[in-house]
Structure 1
């Protein structure tokens, strides 16, 4: 019998798709990936991360700076815009869809953004082991797949235990920012994180104010056009030395 499992034991929050990429996107992986894309050692699946692998941020970025990690960066609109506005901060985009990664690299290159890196991997594995403990100043989870069918909700990214996953990557006092246009998922996010010992609310009332550092994307506009309210949450990492 093998010492290690040959498949993932936990459901992932995505379905791997292999859509055709444009010539420009294919070119991005040849020309731009050497700068932007961080190759990670794999474990049991193509999007997995070997548990012994560990990122050295100073080596990857060529400096030491505050680090912001976006989980599920999509086509990169939010993180490329943020990286362009904050050149003194390092940004890391975690995404599994190659076309989105390619678009992110193309837009970053056009904007002259050099303080951005990308990882093609399952985000919980990046947060819980590949990133050194306490290395991130902020973690962003914007519009994750709501998996709205009841039989699929177990695949949601933010479910019980997510606090430990995100909390590992965040420094004491670091921020976990979330947003969704799916009300029921927003309530679940809030319930989950209110119960996680790694975090406390960094907002008052029912919901946080819209994060002004999140650029308005076509995806968010589409949700608003359909009458869905955008709900933000922000939580602060509890000091591990407290008590």
Structure 2
């Protein structure tokens, strides 16, 4: 999950998250201790050379706010011919994912544990990503909190800058009002094409794993809305 708090009046930037404390389990700490040296990325590394990071040329996918990392791990396992980068500030989630990466023995996944906006600004080269994924970000459902949502006109243009021409910005939410808000923002954003046949939402793509959270929501009758927009031009 990705949160975006309002910036204080004296600050211009809006961070993409709210820092959340959490106690690390033994497995999560193992992931940090053993997995981070192999799969962790730092802003200190500067702008990435993706071919060098992964040791090959391959399609690159980036997920903002991967939570505990189960979906990202499944995508990386299912598509070993592709590379994946995840961003998450919740350290127990980062540790959990890294621990599972070690168990799975995969090598096509890397992780940041810092602000997604900073990663996009400082580390991701322009026109380098084949897909950027934003699944179930915090909807900030109260109207007075809408400015905290990560999906804003400036953000979607930042995403477009990092996507290759033809690259995909894939969003998903289980809040209908946020889905409608996302659609409104994206329809007004220059340089994008909606991939939905009816110009609204796409059917759930097979490549997006169904989470336990989503399955529970389906049992309770909650909907999920997927949006896919392609960078054009």
Answer 1 or 2: higher relative contact order, Cα 8 Å, separation at least 6: 2
Shift of 1:208: 0.7
SS in 1 for 2:43: coil
1:38-70 per-position Cα deviation (integer Å, ceiling 9, x unaligned): 0223xxxxxxxx9xx311212211122110111
User: Alpha carbons of 1:75 and 1:90: their partners in 2 closer, same or farther (altered >3 Å)?
Assistant: same
- 4+ runs deviating over 4 angstroms: none
Q: Which whole-Å CA distance do the structure 2 matches of 1:8 and 1:72 have between them?
A: 23
Matched, 1:208 2:211: no
Instruction: Provide TM-score, normalisation by structure 2.
Output: 0.90
Q: 2:35 aligns with which of 25, 28, 32?
A: 32
> Which residue does 2:85 correspond to in 1?
92
Q: 1:169 aligns with which of 150, 162, 175?
A: 162
Q: Which whole-Å CA distance do the structure 2 matches of 1:120 and 1:191 have between them?
A: 30
More deviation, 149-158/171-180: 149-158
Greater percentage in helix: 2
Shift of 1:8: 5.0
Matched, 1:227 2:230: no
Q: Which whole-Å CA distance do the structure 1 matches of 2:191 and 2:159 have between them?
A: 9
Instruction: Provide TM-score, normalisation by structure 1.
Output: 0.87
> Which residue does 1:10 correspond to in 2?
13
SS in 2 for 1:161: helix
Asked if the contact 2:173–2:226 (Cα under 8 Å) also holds between the matched residues in 1, the reply is yes
SS in 2 for 1:153: helix
Asked if the contact 1:101–1:118 (Cα under 8 Å) also holds between the matched residues in 2, the reply is yes
- Unaligned runs of 5+ residues in structure 2 are 1-9
Q: Which whole-Å CA distance do the structure 2 matches of 1:177 and 1:77 have between them?
A: 17
Matched, 1:66 2:69: no
> Which residue does 1:218 correspond to in 2?
212
User: Alpha carbons of 1:229 and 1:170: their partners in 2 closer, same or farther (altered >3 Å)?
Assistant: same
Shift of 1:141: 0.8
Asked if the contact 2:136–2:172 (Cα under 8 Å) also holds between the matched residues in 1, the reply is yes
Q: Which whole-Å CA distance do the structure 2 matches of 1:161 and 1:224 have between them?
A: 32
Q: 1:141 aligns with which of 134, 141, 160?
A: 134
Q: Which whole-Å CA distance do the structure 1 matches of 2:11 and 2:207 have between them?
A: 35
Shift of 1:223: 2.3
Q: Which whole-Å CA distance do the structure 1 matches of 2:51 and 2:64 have between them?
A: 20
How many residues get paired? 223
Shift of 1:14: 2.2
Cα RMSD (Å): 1.6
Asked if the contact 1:128–1:169 (Cα under 8 Å) also holds between the matched residues in 2, the reply is no
1:51-104 per-position Cα deviation (integer Å, ceiling 9, x unaligned): xx3112122111221101111111111111111111111000011111111111
